[in-house]
């Protein structure tokens, strides 16, 4: 067999959700990360497909390309991707990168709290890692500002009419309370069907666009939220998040966390001091906190 192309990557995961890192800094043209994102979408799709598609990748894989930083203090720039597109943000991927920065020796950590900055297309991300005996034991993700784009949007589906919210947290997602369907997760087949229907109808409206960055448009996926009662938590929910043409996130999904949080606070379900949790279908947990 003749080998014509070789890339060295590092495979990580966050609570089961994969993240393939291409650690070689790619010199992507552009003075801003949005410039680099637009260039990657137009010219680096072959590289994305090479790492994400079979036989090297698989349907559930996500990954990232490292670039030169554009903001002062940032360690590097990051372009996330999945099997279908480049992504403007990724919560679990940010957790992975902060952990990898310590474990791979990209930074020199101290015992206790460490701050790591890196750039993504929609802003600068601050990560904190907590190190004990040289090992990362916890990571805290501080995302870009999130907001509610539109609330109580009516959509007709094959399971009947529903109302959903659209929120931004680096990318746009639709957020649906599964109580409308009477569903008890996991009902993956129903979620996949509804994801495809909802995404097609919302994207067809052409109204889901980030005002100052029109390259960020349409919904990346759908979060199916199931509220739970958990002792010690004012607000607890399960997130079944589907994106990338039908991939079910194995982690609690960092994007779901930062997107559902402004909805829960504006609906007075929670507040700055509430203890809250978001659970994945694999039973792993992320804990949110409103920073400002």
Q: Where are the beta strands (DSSP E) in 158-194?
A: 160-168, 172-177
Cα→Cα distances 92→165, 194, 202, Å: 22, 24, 25
Could you tell me which of 262, 243, 265, 264 has the C-alpha nearest to residue 253? Answer: 243
Instruction: State both tokens at 21.
Output: 């890192």
- Cβ-contact 195, 148 below 8 angstroms: no
Q: What is the CA radius of gyration of the chain?
A: 19
Q: Which residues are catalytic?
A: 90
d(CA 222, CA 191): 9
> What is the rounded CA–CA span in Å between residue 263 and residue 253?
16
């Amino acid at each position: 067999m003749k080998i014509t192309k070789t890339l060295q990557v590092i495979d990580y995961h966050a609570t089961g959700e994969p993240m393939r890192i291409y650690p070689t800094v790619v010199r992507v043209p552009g003075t801003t990360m949005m410039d680099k994102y637009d260039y990657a979408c137009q010219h680096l799709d072959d590289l994305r497909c090479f790492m994400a598609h079979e036989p090297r990748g698989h349907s559930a894989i996500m990954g990232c390309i490292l670039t030169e930083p554009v903001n002062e203090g940032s360690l590097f720039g990051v372009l996330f991707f999945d099997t279908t597109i480049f992504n403007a943000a990724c919560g679990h991927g940010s957790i992975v990168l902060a952990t990898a920065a310590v474990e791979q020796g990209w930074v020199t950590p101290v015992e206790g709290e460490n701050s790591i900055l890196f750039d993504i297309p929609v802003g600068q991300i601050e990560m904190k890692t907590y190190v004990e005996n040289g090992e990362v034991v916890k990571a805290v993700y501080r995302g870009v500002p999130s907001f509610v784009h539109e609330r109580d949007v009516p959509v007709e589906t094959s399971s009947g009419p529903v109302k959903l919210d659209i929120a931004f947290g680096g990318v746009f997602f639709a957020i649906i309370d599964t109580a409308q369907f009477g569903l008890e997760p996991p009902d993956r087949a129903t979620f996949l069907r509804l994801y495809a229907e909802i995404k097609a109808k919302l994207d067809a409206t052409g109204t889901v666009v980030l005002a100052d960055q029109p390259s960020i448009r349409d919904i990346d996926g759908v979060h199916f939220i199931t509220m739970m009662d958990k002792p010690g938590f004012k607000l607890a929910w399960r997130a079944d998040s589907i994106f990338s043409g039908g991939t079910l996130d194995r982690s609690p999904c960092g994007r779901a966390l930062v997107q559902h949080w402004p909805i829960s606070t504006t609906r007075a379900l929670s507040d700055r001091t509430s203890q809250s949790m978001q659970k994945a279908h694999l039973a792993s947990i992320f804990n949110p906190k409103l920073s400002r």
